[in-house]
Structure 1
Amino acid sequence: MSKKNLEKIYFKALNKVKAKSIIKDNISLEKNILTISNEKIDLNKFNNLYIFGVGKAAFSMAKECENIIGKKIKGGFIVSTSKGNLNYLKHFTSTHPDVTTKSEDAANKLIDNVKKLKKNDYFIFLLSGGASAMIEKPILGLSLEDFIKASSSLLTSGIDIKALNTIRKSISQVKGGKLADCIKSNGKVLVLSDVIGDDLNIIGSAPMNNGKFQHILVGNNEIALNEAKKFCKKDYEKVEIITTTLDYPSKKASKYVTKLIKEYDKKYSSFVLLFGGETTTVVKSGGGYGGRNQELALRLLLENIVNEDISILCAGSDGIDGRSDANGAFVTSKTIEKMNEMKLNPKEFLENSDSNTFFKKLGFDFVTGITGTNVMDFIIIEKKGK
């Protein structure tokens, strides 16, 4: 039953920061008055309205914008990893987490499209996590091949997202506000945050953040976990959001989470502890599959904290966890039973950075597919009541 409870809590958090919720909560149209996050914009004062976007959530956010604004949209260009067509906007499917030739094509097309905006036009720009890899135009003198080599090395180094995006900005022609430099018209940027502390200089490597345009935070980890907390409150003695800024390496994170589980276990007969953030992991060579969430789950399993009452889900909000088709993993008493039955040694899988193979063999990997949003990761700990 715990697996089901953990899934319910996860999806409660996730759905609050999916496109349907965040766009509906922040955009409305009545006659020719467009309201964006409580600010009214009279479209009669502008020639045309355009929508642009980049990131994992860009396609689904754009689709919701089309549902609300419809024929008022003159055009625009969206870059995401999704497949599909939009009614009023051009859509380009790019790549993530790797920078590829598609990333360069996407950047060139996006630059061409935003340059067409005239002074008396208005735009909405939809920015979400993953944008850093999806659009790329290296600085002059640096080939895309060399850029890709540098990006790949950084991704597997254990470097945190802040440092990663700082380096990316310095060698790019679109990041760090450089895309915004191409735009002559007025507009706003709606941001779905996938970074610790919601730093606008970091999200998507800040393609639109040059000081010209207002950025509005429409979704983040805190909004998601608050929704999960509301959902759980009536059924558990204690429900608490411990942090939304967990950024430890997975080894340190597992010790920190374990310590808190022990403390709450002594005090409460039932609880849900919620953690948000993004841990880091160093990928060891050996051809293993998995990512930071599954590695954290594996480390928590090795802490011997899970029992018949206490269960854990570590999962990303975007549906992807490293080099695997899983989003995360469950650690429950049944996981341990199955592991013992199959005589699997978790330490071996951890040594090979192969957490996905471990959980997949047991049937405790968590597979959602691409969710269409991204607000970092969720760690959900449940202690069932007696």
Structure 2
Amino acid sequence: MYKEELEKIYYKALKKVQADSIIQDNISLKKDILKVVDETVNLKKIDNLYIFGVGKAAYAMAKECEKIIGEKISGGVVVSTTKGKLKHLTHFTSTHPEVTKKSEKAANLLFEKSSQLNKNDYFIFLLSGGASAMIEKPIEGLSLEDFIKGSSALLTSGIDIKALNTIRKSISQIKGGKLANNFKAKGKVLVLSDVIGDDLNIIGSAPMNNGKFKHHLVGNNKIALKEAKKYCKNSFEKVDIITTTLAKDSEKACSYISKKIKEYDKKYKKFVLLFGGETTTTVKSKNGYGGRNQELALRLFINDSIDKNISILSAGSDGIDGRSDATGAFVDFELHKKIKKLNLNPNEFLDNSDSNTFFKKVGYDFVTGITGTNVMDFIIVLKKGEE
């Protein structure tokens, strides 16, 4: 197995869209002149500078903002799932992927703080994937308990993220640009995309997108995979980004990827194929552990699309894959020997939505911990010729 090389490719892609890289590329400060993407702000001419943020990458992005801007930050609120303290900002740890009472507390905190800004203040809002669950305030007449029941049912239904976020917006007081109505100050929204097509109306259920504030896409799956391709270019005969918009269910995605592997396998001895996007999966058993990446990896193995020179890594960029501590899994030809030795039936684990248990048993699970970013998933197929 080419595990080490697959990991290196993964981390090269990841680094390009992690908080420090993104913020350093888009925010700078010289004396009292703050540059935010394409705008220059003279801090002497505003009353206060605030930082707000919501999403899986919010804490890490805000921490980097503090390093650059420091004492010139007047305050703000950051909501994420990461544990940690910020020096100049209130950090609230919420939940994901399920909406909880913490989500409502986080929403109330954002409403309270943002309402205090005046017209001569300036803010930077950091938005990333996961915001949909982390902040929530249901419409009047709908209890949080009923909202949670509906959201939980949707999460395990196999529904795609666009449809999920559309439903969430219609029953929320914060999504679909509704939070933006609370801001009287001027500001910008920096967006790290975790959705197919980078639709600003979809990312995080668009709490700030009502046309009032300019949004800037500062990181996405394509940027990450381009960096991975650049890294692999000199070491392989062929390196291609096949797609950054993979949005099929795991079964169809498996067939699609398998077909591409066979096409390239006939032509090249050494290649890397890069796929990006976000597949969907229907949970068949609530007792199983795993997520879409581990299920896809398991399907690719069962589908017999791997010869002895091919290894695959399917992994999320956020460090989390469904109901498990892994972000994905590896598969290769040697796995046949391992399952025979351990007397395992891969199909049983697939049928029970228990891919993580399978990969843990064979030692092929990929655990990174929370990465501080989220640009959907990376599927890396690597083939080396006979040594």
Q: TM-score, normalised by structure 2?
A: 0.99
Instruction: Give 3-state SS (helix, strand or coil) of 2:34's partner.
Output: strand
Aligned position for 1:376: 376
The share of aligned pairs that are identical, in percent, is 73
Inter-partner Cα distance in structure 1 for 2:206 and 2:335? 41
Inter-partner Cα distance in structure 2 for 1:273 and 1:128? 26
1:26-105 aligned within 5 A: 26-105=26-105
Letter in 1 for 2:246: L
Inter-partner Cα distance in structure 1 for 2:285 and 2:337? 29
Write the deviation string for residues 157-204 of structure 1: whole angstroms up to 9, x where unpaired.
000000000000000000000000001010000000000000000000
Q: Which moved more, 1:304-313 or 1:247-256?
A: 304-313
Aligned position for 1:2: 2
Write the deviation string for residues 287-312 of structure 1: whole angstroms up to 9, x where unpaired.
11110000000100011121221010
Matched, 1:355 2:337: no
Instruction: Give 3-state SS (helix, strand or coil) of 2:74's partner.
Output: strand
Instruction: Give 3-state SS (helix, strand or coil) of 1:294's partner.
Output: helix
1:198-347 aligned within 5 A: 198-347=198-347
Instruction: Give 3-state SS (helix, strand or coil) of 1:140's partner.
Output: coil
Inter-partner Cα distance in structure 2 for 1:13 and 1:179? 32
Report the Cα offset of residue 286 of structure 1: 4.8
Inter-partner Cα distance in structure 2 for 1:152 and 1:137? 16
Aligned position for 1:116: 116
Letter in 1 for 2:146: D
Instruction: Give 3-state SS (helix, strand or coil) of 2:61's partner.
Output: helix
Instruction: Give 3-state SS (helix, strand or coil) of 2:321's partner.
Output: coil
Q: 1:236–1:385: 8 Å Cα contact kept in structure 2?
A: no
Runs of 4+ in structure 1 off by over 6 angstroms are: none
Inter-partner Cα distance in structure 1 for 2:111 and 2:296? 39
Inter-partner Cα distance in structure 2 for 1:250 and 1:3? 22
Inter-partner Cα distance in structure 2 for 1:306 and 1:172? 45
Inter-partner Cα distance in structure 1 for 2:139 and 2:57? 27
Write the deviation string for residues 261-300 of structure 1: whole angstroms up to 9, x where unpaired.
0000001110000000000000012511110000000100
Letter in 1 for 2:275: F
Inter-partner Cα distance in structure 2 for 1:224 and 1:292? 20
The answer for unaligned runs of 5 or more in structure 2 is: none
Report the Cα offset of residue 341 of structure 1: 1.3
Instruction: Give 3-state SS (helix, strand or coil) of 1:75's partner.
Output: coil
Inter-partner Cα distance in structure 2 for 1:65 and 1:385? 45
Matched, 1:189 2:213: no
Change (3 A) 1:105 1:8: same
Q: 1:318–1:327: 8 Å Cα contact kept in structure 2?
A: yes
Letter in 2 for 1:355: S
The answer for unaligned runs of 5 or more in structure 1 is: none
Matched, 1:385 2:385: yes
How many equivalent residue pairs? 386
Report the Cα offset of residue 39 of structure 1: 2.4
Instruction: Give 3-state SS (helix, strand or coil) of 2:208's partner.
Output: coil
Q: TM-score, normalised by structure 1?
A: 0.99
Instruction: Give 3-state SS (helix, strand or coil) of 2:242's partner.
Output: strand
Q: 1:129–1:194: 8 Å Cα contact kept in structure 2?
A: yes
Write the deviation string for residues 131-152 of structure 1: whole angstroms up to 9, x where unpaired.
0000000000000000000000
Change (3 A) 1:32 1:286: closer
Q: 1:107–1:174: 8 Å Cα contact kept in structure 2?
A: yes
Inter-partner Cα distance in structure 2 for 1:327 and 1:337? 24
Report the Cα offset of residue 331 of structure 1: 0.2
Aligned position for 1:21: 21
Instruction: Give 3-state SS (helix, strand or coil) of 1:243's partner.
Output: strand
Instruction: Give 3-state SS (helix, strand or coil) of 2:253's partner.
Output: helix
Instruction: Give 3-state SS (helix, strand or coil) of 1:119's partner.
Output: coil
Write the deviation string for residues 330-381 of structure 1: whole angstroms up to 9, x where unpaired.
0012322211211211111111111111111101011111111000000000
